[in-house]
Amino acid sequence: MAKNIAEQIVEMLENANVKRIYAVTGDSLNHLNVAVKKSSIEWIHVRHEEVGAYAAAAEAELDGFAVCAGSCGPGHVHLINGVYEAHKSHVPMLVIASTIPSDEMGMDYFQETNTIKLFDDCSYYNQMITRPEQVQRIVQTAIQHAISKKGVAVIGLPGDVSELDAEEATTSNRVFKTNPVIRPSDDELKHLAALINESEKVTIYCGIGAGHANAEVVQLSQWLKAPVGYSFRGKMAIQPNNPNEVGLTGLLGLPSAYHAMHEADLVLLLGTDFPYQKFMPVKNKIVQIEESPERLGRRAKLELGLTGDVKETINALFPLLKEKTDVHFLNEQLAFYDKVKENLMTYVKDYGKEDAIQPEYVAHTLDRLAEKDAIFTVDTGMCCVWGARFITGTGERKMLGSFNHGSMANAMPMAIGAALAHPGKQVIAMCGDGGLSMLLGDMATIFQYKLPIKLIVFNNRALGMVKLEMEVGGMPDNETDMINPDFALIAQAMGYPGKNVHKPEDVESAINECLHYNGPYLLNIFTNPNALALPPKIELDQVIGMTKSMAQLMLGGKMDEVLETVKTNYKHIKGLL
């Protein structure tokens, strides 16, 4: 019996080593679903397509490629947020967007969406299959685009086309995973070496693009007596075994990395497309080394922009460099970093009080008790801050989040993808109460697939980051408070343990119990809603904005909130100004 197009697609996915497809089945996807059932691929039935796309994005970041799917209209729209996440994070993902019967297209048919228009802004490849002879070429080309360009490829698949008989194409149906050596030319390397050799004070700043070059970055920093800062995505790879690291900068960062970059004569940006211009120095020389030349110079005024793999570039550059002997600048930055870390520990030692547990203490305790090779996922907002500042890179740990797209609700779905792809790893989702609430239904997916995910809810009863944004903008926070359900009871209703933690003295034992439980577990920790995450660069207008918002709160009669905010954060403010 001849195989149909759906079976042909699944066969090609098997050959590309795809292990699972995250999807909600229905109508136009049903033929693909049946084909998957007869294959070695697992169909992961999520409750919401957005969760499936996030889960696939997490698997793709960890393992290099993943697949999600959505059916007509609403299924496509539900996918879109997670698809943007994958594309903006540059992880290879294939989206199968099954759609309405081909003879109904353009007739405003039930659940009709234009997949080409819908996914155009969040994909490198986006095509519709309409004939059997297209299938092998389109699927092969889509996967090739995803893994080579490091982003999303979308295949539109009408339901009626998926059941047609398959045809063999004359072009290749294999996927080619190439690994070329890319580095600047010899002349460019000589120019770079001259800049470095003539600069007394050098700071290195690394992103995820330098993640595979930890040893080379450490060696370079020791040779140049250069402090090393990093982006949030680069932290887990660049921090370990790095005696010259000074933390991260940006909205979630620390003043030490900001200071080291601004005090240097020369800043080397390695494998980073760091998005925040305001944190970039403007008075010193900057060199950027990137695999993608189109990103050069769009965040900072460059002295030199080079295309190359960070590891290969450093190895080729090293013979041209003179070892620096003056350690004064490096020692200054390391001493300042020590003070910053000491200041951070103030909030760890001050545990907080009942129903106002300091989130810094929770994150630090979690860091101390988690496995050395744990996979962390963090919700956008305050959980990102606590993860950035208190979860330590060991060289084996991973941390996943919506670092480029900045979407709420990503931690729990990403944990699903991580747990399925790496069943032997400890997977910990640091969830905000706002984020968890948004996609609450897929807590059932965790139980259905018996995933031993640990959900740690930083329950501050507010949209904490939004509250901070409003206050530094001079506005009293409005409609940021949240009246939450009992998340522990919801976990129990879903089929696994859930526990509320109200007192700081119970935090360590509760986290221990959670992490050692053989299965999924939710901890609902009532953290301090007035804990603020201030950036490393505090501008005058932010201080004025905070003052204005506090004054407006006082005039509105909210003195208790004002006093609690000041008491909670005065040490932090003093330490950063």
Distance (Å, whole) CA 574 – CA 566? 11
One-letter amino acid identity for 22? Y
For residue 547, is pLDDT > 80?
no
CA-CA-CA-CA torsion for 257, 259, 262, 266, nearest 10 degrees?
Answer: -60
Distance (Å, whole) CA 191 – CA 352? 53
Of 11-20, 248-257, 526-535, which has the strongest mean pLDDT?
11-20
Task: Transcribe 147-173 into DSSP letters.
Answer: HHHTSEEEEEEEHHHHTSBP---SS--
pLDDT of residue 553: 43
Instruction: Provide the strand spans (E) within 191-308.
Output: 202-206, 228-230, 245-248, 266-270, 285-290, 304-307
For residue 456, is pLDDT > 90?
yes
Q: Tell me the per-residue pLDDT of 387-404, one tens digit each, with 9 for 90 and over.
A: 999 999 999 999 999 988
Q: Once rounded to an integer, what is the mean pLDDT over residues 33-55?
A: 97
Tell which wins on pLDDT, 406 or 318.
318
Q: Once rounded to an integer, what is the mean pLDDT over residues 322-346?
A: 93
Decide if 84 contacts 405 (C-beta within 8 A): yes
What is the 8-class DSSP label of residue 319?
A: G
What is the 8-class DSSP label of residue 72?
A: T
Q: How far apart are the first and last CA of the chain?
A: 74
Band of residue 511 on the pLDDT scale cut at 50, 70, 90: very high
pLDDT of residue 133: 94
Band of residue 251 on the pLDDT scale cut at 50, 70, 90: low
pLDDT of residue 75: 93
Which of 554, 577, 576 is CA-nearest to residue 565? 554
pLDDT of residue 430: 98
Of 228-237, 456-465, 537-546, which has the strongest mean pLDDT?
228-237
Distance (Å, whole) CA 104 – CA 335? 68
pLDDT of residue 299: 85
Tell which wins on pLDDT, 533 or 313.
313
pLDDT of residue 573: 44
Which of 130-144, 170-184, 413-427, 505-519 has the lowest average pLDDT?
170-184
pLDDT of residue 535: 46
State both tokens at 78. 């539900």
Which of 87-101, 252-266, 423-437, 465-479 has the lowest average pLDDT?
465-479
Distance (Å, whole) CA 393 – CA 513? 23
**338: CB partners within 8 A, 6+ apart:** none
- Across the chain, what does the average pLDDT equal? 89
Tell which wins on pLDDT, 42 or 297.
42
Decide if 53 contacts 83 (C-beta within 8 A): yes
Band of residue 534 on the pLDDT scale cut at 50, 70, 90: low
The secondary structure element, H or E, covering residue 551 is helix 540-555
498-501/521-526 β-pairing: parallel
Which of 128-142, 205-219, 415-429, 470-484 has the lowest average pLDDT?
470-484
Q: What is the percent of the chain with per-residue pLDDT over 90, rounded to a whole number?
A: 72
285-290 sheet: strands from edge to edge? 245-248, 228-230, 202-206, 266-270, 285-290, 304-307
For residue 458, is pLDDT > 50?
yes
Tell which wins on pLDDT, 567 or 232.
232
Distance (Å, whole) CA 437 – CA 418? 20
Q: Tell me the per-residue pLDDT of 351-390, one tens digit each, with 9 for 90 and over.
A: 999 999 999 999 999 999 999 999 999 998 889 889 999 9
Helices (H), 150-292: 159-162, 186-198, 214-224, 235-238, 255-263
For residue 492, is pLDDT > 80?
yes
What is the 8-class DSSP label of residue 371?
A: -
The secondary structure element, H or E, covering residue 97 is strand 93-99
Q: Tell me the per-residue pLDDT of 223-248, one tens digit each, with 9 for 90 and over.
A: 999 999 999 999 999 999 999 999 98
Decide if 370 contacts 515 (C-beta within 8 A): yes
Packed helices 255-263 and 328-349: angle between N→C axes, nearest 10 degrees: 160
Q: Once rounded to an integer, what is the mean pLDDT over residues 434-455?
A: 97
Decide if 412 contacts 55 (C-beta within 8 A): no
Question: Quick one: 503 exposed, middle or buried, by C-beta within 10 A (0-12, 13-18, 19+)?
Answer: middle
What are the chain's domains?
5-163 (3.40.50.970), 186-337 (3.40.50.1220), 350-574 (3.40.50.970)
Beta bridge partners, 498, equal 522
Which pTM does this prediction carry? 0.89
Q: Once rounded to an integer, what is the mean pLDDT over residues 21-47?
A: 95
Which of 404, 453, 406 is CA-nearest to residue 429? 453
Q: Assign residue 409 a region (left: φ > 0; alpha: ψ between -120 and 50; beta: otherwise).
A: left
**90: CB partners within 8 A, 6+ apart:** 150, 151
Distance (Å, whole) CA 42 – CA 228? 42
For residue 288, is pLDDT > 80?
yes
Which of 117-126, 163-172, 528-537 has the lowest average pLDDT?
528-537
Q: Once rounded to an integer, what is the mean pLDDT over residues 522-534?
A: 84
State both tokens at 158. 């009408």
pLDDT of residue 543: 46
State both tokens at 56. 């696939």
Tell which wins on pLDDT, 183 or 577.
183
